[in-house]
Chains A and B, each alone.
Chain A
Amino acid sequence: DVVMTQSPLSLPVTLGQPASISCRSSQSLVYSDGNTYLNWFQQRPGQSPRRLIYKVSNRDSGVPDRFSGSGSGTDFTLKISRVEAEDIGVYYCMQATHWPYTFGQGTKLEIK
């Protein structure tokens, strides 16, 4: 199985400051069709996960543009340009290139 490793696992951030989460996969996430199926999810306390980013860098509808995704191959990053109070929660990367699909351990973002 592809192992997804996130860092950090805990991320205290001051409101208005940027935040960055790293996600590394144990093998390349480039699929045979040329796409890289790496997604990012946000799970606010008590809620279902919500997808923010798909195929590395595409924002889902309604996702604020302060969220951005980047990376390639085995190395990926989620960035929040200016953290707002509503951003608290756990963030997961997930690969859908290889079966079984796998998630990272999650990064808990909290406000300092």
Chain B
Amino acid sequence: EVQLVESGGGLVQPGRSLRLSCTTSGITFADHAMSWVRQAPGKGLEWVGFIRSKDYGETTEYVASVKGRFTFSRDDSKSIAYLQMNSLKTEDTAVYYCIRGGGGAIWGQGTMVTVSS
């Protein structure tokens, strides 16, 4: 069974950092890009970005609102994707979903990040 499980969310003060993990099973993790999408409370969806597979140099793409603050990484040996979030702002408050690939076929259940003083 394919599973993507996000973890690491929580309450954090503005300006601080947080790292999210996406632990996967049932997929050939190394073959796929891994994406992150977020959803602010009561709002729509925003594709935050993705990290390509090793075959594509593990290159990354970021939406403008997080560029320079967020960093994607991956550990193919553990089948885990990471989202390092620095200099967090209140507007980063959202549920963060990890997704296999860039097409949105498989989603995790999401983890809530609340940025508040």
Contact = CB atoms under 8 A, between A and B. Distances in A.
Interface of A: 37, 39, 41, 48-51, 54, 60, 92, 94, 96, 99-106
Nearest to B35: A101
Interface string B65-105: 00000000000000000000000000000000100001111
Interface of B: 37, 44-47, 49, 61, 63-64, 97, 102-105, 107-110
B67 to A, nearest CB: 10
Contacts, number: 48
B109 A41 contact: no
Contact of B102 (A50, A96, A104, A105): A96
Is the contact region of chain A dominated by helix, strand, or loop, or is it mixed?
A: loop
A100 B63 contact: yes
Contacts of B37: 49
B63 A94 contact: no
Nearest to A51: B104
A54 B103 contact: yes
Query: By CB atoms of chain A within 10 A, which of B47, B102, B108, B110 has the most?
Result: B47
Given A103-B45, A103-B46, 7 more contacts: A48-B109, A50-B107, A54-B104, A92-B44, A94-B47, A101-B102, A103-B44
